[in-house]
A and B are shown apart, each in its own frame.
Chain A
Amino acid sequence: MTRCPLTRYPRRSVIAMGAGLITLARATRAVAQSSWPTRTIRLVAPFAAGGGTDILARVLSQQLHEILHQACIVVNIDGAGGTVGATEVATAAPDGYTLLVGTPGTIEVNPLTHSLRYDPQKDLAPISLVTESAAVLVANRDFPPNTVQELIAYARQRPGEVNFGSAGPGSFSHISGEMFDYLAHVNMTHVPYRGTSAALADLLAGRVQLLFENMPPVMGDIQNGAVKAIAIGSATRSSFFPKLSTIAESGVPDYESTSFMGLLAPAKTPRPIIDRLQQAIVDGLHDPETATRLHALGVELNGSTPEQFAAFIARGIALTAKVVEAAHMRQS
């Protein structure tokens, strides 16, 4: 007869022992949390080195390193439009040492267009929305329309004739353009490029007439007049170009497209670690030098709470889902 080893002990002492173990485990976890971080924190950037968000992530990592007194490195895990890196974080140990640099692609778009192994709202815990950058509708200098109203009239007279470039299928610029098509009831042709700079080159040359891109890559060209800014895609006007009206106020009321960079952790990461990271981000954004650097890149600083970030994500996913549906972007 095999005996369960526990039956050798009186039941009450077993319960007591169990309770003791739980207390012990809690205590060690508390110790672990209070001493977190004890080793290198990896910020997984799910794209290749060199992109706009990569640079933002590096500014952030530098700041976290100084505030948390612990090495904080950006690890580029590129692949499948960010899916590879995001999946790695979603399945990583929830110990606060593996974090995801989240962008619209990995959090809002890919989960809607492809069948993935992670659910951005279930498998990832938002920490903070770090920066936001509104979509800007920019046009070639010689393109006749100057306002959203003129553009809508122009495009309706010429269905399929106006081209908008993008950084590739499913990219932020693609979604922002399709969102305009869908909400303004126009039909423009999407021309995908491999990355923003190739699309921008053809915009300058006039091969595509429009680009809905987030502020950082186009800010310089707007400032020096190489391209014409028509409107901004955020809900409110941008601090960079306060005179530029929003697409929403120009006759497409529901339009809102804002790119972002936020930090997320694996879902079960202990709340104290999340709070500590969120506080570090807020402190980092208050550093005047960091703020200047980030501002120079064309982004607005946010530093939200985890709850605000979660609500932001939910709103973004809801609108993106409609666009994905309307533009038939879902891959079986």
Chain B
Amino acid sequence: MSMELLQHLSLGIQVALTPENFLFCLLGATLGTVVGVLPGLGPTTTIAMLLPLTFKIPATSALIMLSGIYYGAHHAGSTTSIMLNMPGEPTSIVICLDGYPMARQGRAGVALCIAALVSFFAGCVCTVAIALFSPPLARVALLFGPPEYTTMILMALVTIVVLSSTSLVLTLGTAVLGLLLGTVGTDLNTGIIRFSFGSNGLVDGVSFVSLAVGVFAFAEVMAHIAAETHRPAERPKISSLIPTRQDLARSWGAALRGTAIGGVLGLMPGTGPLISSFASYVVEKQIAKDPTRFGNGAVEGVAGPEAANNAAALTHFIPMLTLGIPAGSAMALMLGALIIQGITPGPQVMTEHPDLFWGLVVSMWLGNTMLLVLNLPLVGVWVRLLAIPYRLLYPGILMFCCIGVYSLNNSTFDVFLATGFGVLGFGLKKLGCAPAPLLLGLILGPLLEENFRRALLLSRGELTVFIQHPISLGFLIVTALLPFVFLFTSRQALARRSHQAG
């Protein structure tokens, strides 16, 4: 077995280290970094545009490049979250919560370094997981049906209250507003269009990217302009770029836990990196000795979710490679690139095309190394972003955001929608509400409804289906216990604080 694995790996190394494949890997990782950094512009659009170019190159090289774009974008999405409080990719929303406060304390370099290091760590671990356990792990994906997804999403929604460090009422309020926004659009079961007010732009629901760019990027710019009218915005000083021993000590465990969470959740084709990154955040906050540090620049709040989102981005490949089930449209495009070249995805890929499978696995490790080498020196460059005068930086940000939102669906409506959400986001900021629950509500609401109704359709209306499936029952029990755990830990924190004070 191990002998066989060594043979496979040496084959993979031979494939991945040919000059062409090495260059394709570098090209993919670099492109991924670029689209990851630009808010709105995502890997799917990029892969779609490059797809015709891959017809003329070998399947293995094509897949190496396209997957490089995919994990590269996940790797780099956190950069703007940390520097500017604007998530470059949906998966890096959670990084804003502590990454941006770190930047404001002058620790942007530290946050970026930690993000690059834990991404690399998660990437290496998950590459090994793909190499060793792909076939058995693929079966896990099929264990998750509508009841399991329903209760998992329910659990995620309940944990949202733990996410925010502001008041419970405000968090619940913004999450519910997000859920309500999620009801806009075509009902999946009947095809009836809800709350579109005759606008074609709303028939498919509120665009997630519009909301994210609006409440994060646009609102941030507005808040700065509003602040500058009476005093010049304070510029965070850059104290150091290198993480301290304490930073590393704190990140180590968070990265391990984040990798485990992301690696497992990434196997489910329906959920993906987003849930994993915020699940990791909740876990870190729950087990922290002093949860009040979260939201104020806790390094674990960057390390855990960043590891989780990169781990999930890689294990997402397992259902695609072994079952032929793509998790999301970027994966579907990669699958298309393979099929076009006559390779049928499925369990036989590993045996019939070992060069492709193992070449990809080795290239993932190689790509992650390249990303680390690429990103660490870039930390210095990104940090200097903050030295650009705001009067130049902000118009630039607005422009890139508009291009990103527009490019997603060639829709000016989405750009206007983002502007509207910018105003909403500014209002929320003034009220002291965090925007993350709003976004999570918008994403999870429709998923919850869809899976809940599908579960009931399949069970012919029997609600007991949720307790008959063991995994689903497990999620329900955890969901029921969560509020108590939350109460208990916050009591403890209160007691400790009053103890310290007294």
Residues on A lying within 8 angstroms of B by beta carbon are 48-52, 54-55, 58-59, 61-62, 74-81, 83-84, 87, 113, 160, 163, 168-170, 189, 191-194, 197-198, 200-202, 204-205, 207-208, 216, 219-221, 223-224, 226, 292-293, 296-298, 329, 331
Number of B residues, CB within 8 Å of A: 52
Can you list 10 residue pairs at the A/B interface with Cβ under 8 Å?
Answer: A49-B44, A54-B48, A59-B340, A77-B410, A79-B203, A81-B186, A169-B186, A197-B269, A292-B342, A296-B341
Complex CA–CA separation, A74 to B191 (angstroms): 27
What is the minimal beta-carbon distance from A191 to any residue of chain B, in angstroms? 6
- Known pairs A75-B410, A83-B200; A50 contacts B330 (CB<8 A): yes
B380 at the A interface (CB under 8 A):
no
Which of B3-11, B294-302, B320-328 contacts its partner?
B320-328
Complex CA–CA separation, A191 to B48 (angstroms): 29
B183 at the A interface (CB under 8 A):
no
A169–B188 touching, CB < 8 Å: yes
Question: CB-CB contacts of B163-187 with A at 8 A, as 1s and 0s?
Answer: 0000000000000000000000010
16 other contacts beyond A55-B336, A169-B186, A205-B142, with CB at 8 A cut-off? A50-B48, A50-B332, A55-B339, A61-B52, A77-B411, A79-B204, A79-B411, A80-B204, A168-B191, A201-B323, A220-B324, A220-B344, A220-B346, A224-B348, A297-B340, A298-B339
B329 at the A interface (CB under 8 A):
yes
A329–B48 touching, CB < 8 Å: no
* Chain A residues whose CB sits within 8 angstroms of the CB of B324 once the complex forms: 220-221, 226
Which residue on chain B has the smallest CB distance to residue A60? B52
In-complex Cβ contact of A48 among B192, B329, B346, B347 (8 A): B329
B345 at the A interface (CB under 8 A):
yes
B326–A207 touching, CB < 8 Å: no
Complex CA–CA separation, A26 to B47 (angstroms): 44
Which residue on chain A has the smallest CB distance to residue B142? A205
Complex CA–CA separation, A62 to B45 (angstroms): 17
In-complex Cβ contact of B52 among A59, A163, A169 (8 A): A59
- Known pairs A197-B269, A198-B270, A226-B346; A84 contacts B200 (CB<8 A): yes
* Chain A residues whose CB sits within 8 angstroms of the CB of B204 once the complex forms: 78-80
Residues on B lying within 8 angstroms of A by beta carbon are 44-45, 47-48, 51-52, 55, 141-143, 145-146, 186, 188-193, 200-201, 203-204, 269-270, 319, 323-326, 329-330, 332-333, 336, 339-342, 344-348, 409-411, 450, 454, 457-458, 460
B145–A202 touching, CB < 8 Å: yes
- Known pairs A51-B332, A54-B48, A201-B141; A293 contacts B55 (CB<8 A): yes
What is the minimal beta-carbon distance from B6 to any residue of chain A, in angstroms? 27
B48–A169 touching, CB < 8 Å: no
What is the minimal beta-carbon distance from A142 to any residue of chain B, in angstroms? 13
A58–B200 touching, CB < 8 Å: no
A189–B410 touching, CB < 8 Å: no
B270–A297 touching, CB < 8 Å: no
B48–A76 touching, CB < 8 Å: yes
B191–A113 touching, CB < 8 Å: yes
Which residue on chain A has the smallest CB distance to residue B328? A50
